[in-house]
Amino acid sequence: MNLFPMITTTIFTLIMLCSMSVVVHVQGKQPYVGLATTACGQTGNSNSMRGYTCNGVNPSCQAYLTFRAQPLYNTVPSISALLGSDSSQLSVANSVSEDGTFETNKLVIVPINCSCSGNNNNQYYQFNTSYEVERGDSYFVIANNTFEGLSTCQALQDQNNIPEGDLMPGNELIVPLRCACPSKNQTEQGVKYLLSYLVASNHIVWLIGERFGVSSETIVEANTLSSQQPIIHPFTTLLVPLQDEPSSNQTSEPSPPPSTPPPPPLSSSSGRSSKTWVYAVVGVVGAIALISSVLCAIVFRTRYLKGGNKRKDDSLIVSDSFVAVAIEKPQEKKLEEEESENLAEIISGISESFKVYRYEELQSATNGFSPSCCIKGSVYRGFINGDLAAIKKIDGDVSKEIELLSKVNHSNVIRLSGVCFNGGYWYLVYEYAANGYLSDWINIKGKFLSWTQRIQIALDVATGLDYLHSFTSPPHVHKDLKSGNILLDSDFRAKISNFRLARSVEREGSEGDQYVMTRHIVGTRGYMAPEYLENGLVSTKLDVYAFGVLMLEMLTGKDVADVYAEGNIANLFDVLSAVLDEEGEHLRLSEFMDPSLKGNYPMELAVFVARMIETCIKKDPASRPDMHEIVSSLSKALDSSLRWETSMERKFRFYKGFLN
Ligand SMILES: *[C@@H]1O[C@H](CO)[C@@H](O)[C@H](O)[C@H]1NC(C)=O
Ligand SMILES: *[C@@H]1O[C@H](CO)[C@@H](O)[C@H](O)[C@H]1NC(C)=O
Ligand SMILES: *[C@@H]1O[C@H](CO)[C@@H](O)[C@H](O)[C@H]1NC(C)=O
Ligand SMILES: *[C@@H]1O[C@H](CO)[C@@H](O)[C@H](O)[C@H]1NC(C)=O
Ligand SMILES: *[C@@H]1O[C@H](CO)[C@@H](O)[C@H](O)[C@H]1NC(C)=O
């Protein structure tokens, strides 16, 4: 009986159901409204579109709204009249005079007093302003077009006793504007104000964070967004937690990407100060991140809408953002193509860490992506400038992987040498690993790794992970470690690959590991640690667990799913304790070891490694060792293995001599 898939599916369904309804309010964060703002007729269960819940420390506070100047509302007096803000405070906040005018689309900071109101059951943070209905207005037009998303049709309907159909020019409406006060956790982290940022098209969380000096993780958390795919939409509010008052120098829009070839090389900017140069680079990097993420989001959506295009890998993906994505109509396909033309040029303009390839170069390197060049799935082998390279075609967001790999330089982490974007797909060009995937060496009959090779590979993987956990800043978790993501070079040295799920975990204070919560459970069956599956906890100990599973596969020569199935167990830990706790532990262990080793391994070391795996896959993440300890254990194991190998060779030579 193969119970494993059934059990995991059930667990996942439960997690999905729970994560959608419960998690949001418990943590004192505010759910992002998303596309719900357009669903005016509906009064669904989610109240998030009526306002931010009153879960802050104080019932009222100083807060900030943002507004983009439009022809009708483009002066200090007209904007403060529309939004009910104090015009002198508004002029100070934006460093303009009290009758100052803003350029169209200029972001204006609007200081307001935010407070909690409503009846006992439905309390929302809001700031009331009043508005006189004009010809052609509907609740949606008022909320979206006039107030640019600072209010929602649901909130307007809720707080004005006029049915939609009875709206008449001249009606006086109360317009609740979306603001919020910091929660306890935010206050403890030094957050003083929340700014209701109006998302514009092409904006991404990271860039908004850059502008206000706030990490994208903080914004993702404050708005309960998915950390893997933080998708945001124009004409919605995104809360930005601020430690200081926002300043007018944060309101200028990042300059749009050039439509003609990239800006002149740096030498021509010699007259500028070095600081301006830094801002310019930040701007361009931002623009790239922005475009690529928008492109990816669009590509992603359209793929999902095609429906038939099911994911082929064995990763399990559970995410509410996918649900939201699937109901959206495809748009802006043209924009995608136009912008993709610029993308390569822009990237090449600044990038020093990787090369940008033309699609034609990759085509000729791979005989037009012919099946004969296919390594596996969407990975192709190609000759580029006389060197072999692996070219991976990717459908989806690669920004994390590119960002991480551009910072990392380690012999046990695969090297990204170039990128290409074409026809809605990304192509990433990696160093070539001659011996392919570790998973093939575990699963395919006729391929065989010696004991010492296995220990060397394990040590390589552990060293690469230790580097990610302890020597990148901020520390990173790979999150999808498995034999299918480990590559072997011509000397059977291992390189960790596929960083699409990797994420950073900020380490605070000096003690212990930092945990991050996520609602987005992604990974591969059998490799995911229990605390992640059950509670969405992310820490470096996830990789330690997966590393234990990987070593188990190398020891037994079996896929982890088969280990579960054959052992007929629910918890991997039980397999090892059954093997190791017996009196004759050697005997049981030798039955457990990969038969293709034919007993050619030092039994003491096999026990040592099995004990190590046992600690890696402990249920309690805190009792698992960290990668640093594993590296030092495995270094010892490798030394002993090499000595054992030498002694075996000596014996072999001895017998051989004897026979001759
Ligand atoms: C907010 O409150 C302060 C003092 O409580 C007051 O001076 C200020 O005018 C208020 N601002 C608005 C926009 O009502
Ligand atoms: C805003 O308007 C609503 C609806 O009239 C009212 O219940 C609430 O008390 C007002 N809030 C504030 C802060 O004035
Ligand atoms: C919301 O308002 C903007 C600005 O007027 C407009 O361009 C956009 O189409 C509106 N959104 C919808 C869904 O109508
Ligand atoms: C918020 O704070 C509480 C208690 O201070 C803590 O238990 C909880 O984990 C915190 N949540 C987050 C997401 O930091
Ligand atoms: C923006 O203004 C604030 C205070 O007004 C100042 O501290 C900060 O250095 C300025 N930032 C830039 C990038 O000029």
Reported as a pLDDT band with limits 50, 70 and 90, residue 552 is: very high
Ligand 2 atom nearest the C-alpha of 127 is 13
Catalytic residues: 480
Reported as a pLDDT band with limits 50, 70 and 90, residue 50 is: confident
Q: Are residues 557 and 518 in the same domain?
A: yes
Whether 232 contacts 225, CB under 8 Å: yes
Q: What is the dihedral of CA 83, 192, 400, 16, to 10 degrees?
A: -80
Ligand 4 atom nearest the C-alpha of 221 is 13
pLDDT at 250 > cutoff 90: no
Going from the Cα of 470 to the center of ligand 2, the distance in angstroms, rounded, reads 51
Going from the Cα of 30 to the center of ligand 4, the distance in angstroms, rounded, reads 14
**Can you tell me the mean pLDDT for 434-449?**
88
CB distance 131 to ligand 3 below 6 Å: no
Q: Are residues 472 and 599 in the same domain?
A: yes
Which residue is listed with tokens 């009526």?
50
Structure tokens at 658: 């004897």
Domain boundary among 431, 460, 476: 431
Name residues contacting ligand 2 (CB within 6 A).
Answer: 115, 117, 128, 159, 174
**Can you tell me the mean pLDDT for 478-489?**
94
pLDDT at 15 > cutoff 80: no
Q: Are residues 168 and 308 in the same domain?
A: no
Question: Minimum-distance ligand to the CA of 95?
Answer: 5
Quick check: is 354 in a domain? yes
Whether 151 contacts 116, CB under 8 Å: no
Q: Are residues 326 and 355 in the same domain?
A: no
Quick check: is 567 in a domain? yes
Q: Are residues 560 and 633 in the same domain?
A: yes
Around 194, how many Cα atoms within 13 Å sit in the side-chain half-sphere? 34
CB distance 152 to ligand 3 below 6 Å: no
Q: What is the pLDDT of residue 346?
A: 38
pLDDT at 5 > cutoff 80: no
Ligand 4 atom nearest the C-alpha of 517 is 13
Residue owning the nearest CA to atom 14 of ligand 5: 249
Quick check: is 261 in a domain? no
Among 25, 27, 187, 224, residue to substitute to test ligand 4 (most atoms within 8 Å of Cβ): 27
Q: What is the pLDDT of residue 487?
A: 96
Q: What is the pLDDT of residue 352?
A: 58
Quick check: is 15 in a domain? no
DSSP string, 28-96: T-----GGGGG-TT---S--GGG-EES-SSSSEEEEEEEEE-BTTB-BHHHHHHHHT--HHHHHHHTT-
Listed residue (137, 126, 141) closest to 174, CA to CA = 126
14 against 249, higher pLDDT = 249
> Which domain CATH number covers 390?
3.30.200.20
Residue owning the nearest CA to atom 9 of ligand 3: 145
359 against 607, higher pLDDT = 359
Whether 52 contacts 180, CB under 8 Å: yes
Distance, CA of 255 to CA of 151 (rounded, Å): 28
Residue owning the nearest CA to atom 12 of ligand 5: 249
Domain boundary among 379, 408, 431: 431
**Can you tell me the mean pLDDT for 566-594?**
75
Residue owning the nearest CA to atom 5 of ligand 1: 113
Which residue is listed with tokens 């403890």?
188
Name residues contacting ligand 4 (CB within 6 A).
Answer: 27, 185, 517
Q: Are residues 207 and 298 in the same domain?
A: no
CB distance 249 to ligand 5 below 6 Å: yes
Quick check: is 189 in a domain? yes
Q: What is the pLDDT of residue 43?
A: 56
pLDDT at 39 > cutoff 80: no
Q: Are residues 446 and 427 in the same domain?
A: no
pLDDT at 264 > cutoff 70: no
Quick check: is 221 in a domain? yes
Distance, CA of 557 to CA of 545 (rounded, Å): 18
Ligand 2 atom nearest the C-alpha of 115 is 13
Q: Are residues 424 and 467 in the same domain?
A: no
Quick check: is 4 in a domain? no
Going from the Cα of 439 to the center of ligand 4, the distance in angstroms, rounded, reads 39
How does pLDDT run across 342-364, given as a tens digit for each residue?
Answer: 444 434 433 556 788 889 999 98
DSSP string, 384-447: ETTEEEEEEEE-S--HHHHHHHHH---TTBPPEEEEEEETTEEEEEEE--TT-BHHHHHHSTT-
Domain boundary among 397, 412, 431: 431
- Which of 69-78, 178-187, 323-332 is the least confident region? 323-332
Residue owning the nearest CA to atom 2 of ligand 3: 145
Residue owning the nearest CA to atom 13 of ligand 5: 249
Q: What is the pLDDT of residue 408?
A: 83
How does pLDDT run across 209-233, given as a tens digit for each residue?
Answer: 878 988 878 898 899 887 655 677 8
Q: What is the pLDDT of residue 12?
A: 40
Reported as a pLDDT band with limits 50, 70 and 90, residue 503 is: confident
> Which domain CATH number covers 586?
1.10.510.10
Q: How many helices (H) and strands (E) does the chain have?
A: 23, 21
Among 145, 199, 327, residue to substitute to test ligand 3 (most atoms within 8 Å of Cβ): 145
Whether 494 contacts 412, CB under 8 Å: yes
Question: Minimum-distance ligand to the CA of 210?
Answer: 5
pLDDT at 437 > cutoff 60: yes
How does pLDDT run across 147-157, given as a tens digit for each residue?
Answer: 999 999 988 98
Going from the Cα of 60 to the center of ligand 1, the distance in angstroms, rounded, reads 11
Name residues contacting ligand 1 (CB within 6 A).
Answer: 85-86, 112-113
Quick check: is 148 in a domain? yes
Looking at mean pLDDT, say which of 302-306, 423-427, 595-599 comes out highest: 595-599
Residue owning the nearest CA to atom 4 of ligand 5: 247
Reported as a pLDDT band with limits 50, 70 and 90, residue 563 is: confident
Q: Are residues 424 and 448 in the same domain?
A: no
Structure tokens at 4: 């494993």
pLDDT at 590 > cutoff 70: yes
Going from the Cα of 145 to the center of ligand 3, the distance in angstroms, rounded, reads 6
CB distance 171 to ligand 3 below 6 Å: no
653 against 362, higher pLDDT = 362
For the CA atoms of the chain, what is the radius of gyration? 29
Residue owning the nearest CA to atom 11 of ligand 3: 144
Number of Cβ within a 10 Å radius of residue 4: 19
CB distance 275 to ligand 5 below 6 Å: no
Q: What is the pLDDT of residue 225?
A: 82
Q: What is the pLDDT of residue 507?
A: 54
Going from the Cα of 376 to the center of ligand 3, the distance in angstroms, rounded, reads 44
Q: Are residues 395 and 366 in the same domain?
A: yes
Residue owning the nearest CA to atom 9 of ligand 4: 27
Among 96, 214, 249, 273, residue to substitute to test ligand 5 (most atoms within 8 Å of Cβ): 249
Number of domains present in the structure of the chain: 4
Per the DSSP assignment, residues forming a β-bridge with 112 are: 63
Q: Are residues 322 and 354 in the same domain?
A: no
Going from the Cα of 159 to the center of ligand 2, the distance in angstroms, rounded, reads 8
pLDDT at 271 > cutoff 50: no
Q: What is the pLDDT of residue 581?
A: 66
**Can you tell me the mean pLDDT for 232-253?**
88
Average pLDDT of every residue of the chain: 77
* Residue 495 backbone phi and psi in degrees, to 5: -135, 130
Question: Minimum-distance ligand to the CA of 221?
Answer: 4
Residue owning the nearest CA to atom 8 of ligand 4: 27
Question: Minimum-distance ligand to the CA of 111?
Answer: 1
Going from the Cα of 128 to the center of ligand 2, the distance in angstroms, rounded, reads 6
Domain with 132 in it:
28-250
Among 113, 116, 117, residue to substitute to test ligand 2 (most atoms within 8 Å of Cβ): 117
Q: What is the pLDDT of residue 284?
A: 37
**Can you tell me the mean pLDDT for 522-543?**
86
Q: Are residues 424 and 454 in the same domain?
A: no
**For helices 603-616 and 451-466, angle between their N-to-C axes, nearest 10 degrees:** 30
